[in-house]
Amino acid sequence: MALLSIDNIATAYDRIDVLHDLSLELEEGRITCILGANGAGKSTLIRSILGLTPPNRGDIRFAGQSLIGLPTHRVIAQGIACIPEGRRIFPKMTVAENLRVGAYQVADPAEIARRADEVYALFPRLKERRDQLAGTMSGGEQAMVSIGRGLMAKPRLLIIDEPSLGLSPLYVKENFRIIADINQLGISVLLVEQNVHQTLAISHYGFVLSQGRLVAHGDAKRLSENDEVQAAYFG
Ligand code: ATP
């Protein structure tokens, strides 16, 4: 059974359709990417999954259970965490405080500390800087805070929206390596990106969106060798 299955959804803002009869499936344990140029509908797909802009038609199932009609906090409680585009950390809070916010559904302080230790093991830099105000860190470090905060919820599926946006090439590389490490821990990842090459390099499977429609999908390796897809959708 697919971990996430999107079945023929249509999503609109006001009355303008943005996603048209979109279907896709994510297998558990993998990194699946959604690629597409500006305006392809990638963020709208995330909004549909999270129940922020629910689809008008179709079904979205997570671990076999429909998410349609659930408010966002209940979608998240099923085991889905989302790291938004632009990172949105809390700048006036320390690194450690930012992480704690990500575990707001957990009451036990020992469990929160255990999860923070797991995040610090992935990001030693955050451990060194746990008491620094997050807003004073570099863009790449803030990206780590944002991913770490998502991990504090111990999600079964981590959705990451354009993690490479606005980062220097060095941090992009490091962040992608970390996303692969997170997947190695057994967390399924849905990676939404415009950065085609590096995304396909760490993904197992990819879907390509254009103007709200699915135009290609396949094993990441095959997609990265598909010149037609590359030329048509990524220039
Ligand atoms: P980007 O990479 O630039 O974030 P995207 O692939 O995520 O692009 P979306 O943000 O999903 O694309 O946008 C898809 C279409 O929906 C675009 O035509 C956009 O103008 C439109 N759209 C997005 N948000 C809204 C909104 N709140 N109200 C009306 N139209 C919107």
Nearest CA to ligand 1 atom 31: 13
Q: Are 101 and 149 in contact (CB under 8 A)?
A: yes
Nearest CA to ligand 1 atom 9: 41
Instruction: Show the CA angle centred on residue 56, arms to residues 67 and 88, nearest 5°.
Output: 60
Structural tokens at position 220: 């990441």
| pLDDT at residue 107 in the model | 87
pLDDT tens for 3-51 read 999 999 999 998 889 999 999 999 999 999 999 888 899 999 999 999 9
Is the model's pLDDT at 86 over the cut of 80?
no
The answer to whether the CB of 15 is under 6 A from ligand 1 is: no
**Cβ-based neighbour number of residue 162 at 10 Å:** 20
| pLDDT at residue 111 in the model | 95
CA 182 → CA 148, 150, 215, distances in Å?
10, 11, 28
3-class DSSP state of 51: coil
Q: pTM of this prediction?
A: 0.91
Structural tokens at position 29: 């344990």
| pLDDT at residue 38 in the model | 86
Q: What is the mean pLDDT of residues 174-185?
A: 90
**Interaxial angle between packed helices 169-184 and 109-122, expressed in degrees from 0 to 180 and rounded to the nearest 10:** 130
Q: Using the mean position of ligand 1's atoms as its centre, give its distance from the Cα of residue 80 in Å.
A: 22
Q: What is the mean pLDDT of residues 210-234?
A: 85
Distance of CA 168 to the CA centre of its chain: 19
- Going by pLDDT thresholds of 50, 70 and 90, the confidence category of residue 205 is very high
Listed by start position, the domains of the chain span 91-154
3-class DSSP state of 36: coil
| pLDDT at residue 235 in the model | 60
Mean pLDDT over all residues of the chain?
92
Q: Using the mean position of ligand 1's atoms as its centre, give its distance from the Cα of residue 74 in Å.
A: 24
Looking only at the bridges linking them, the beta strands covering 213-219 and 205-210 are: antiparallel
The answer to whether the CB of 156 is under 6 A from ligand 1 is: no
Q: Which of 96-100, 110-114, 133-137, 172-176 has the lowest mean pLDDT?
A: 172-176
Q: Using the mean position of ligand 1's atoms as its centre, give its distance from the Cα of residue 44 in Å.
A: 6
Phi-psi region of 190 (alpha: psi -120 to 50; beta: other; left: phi over 0): beta
- In the chain, what's the furthest Cα-to-Cα distance? 52
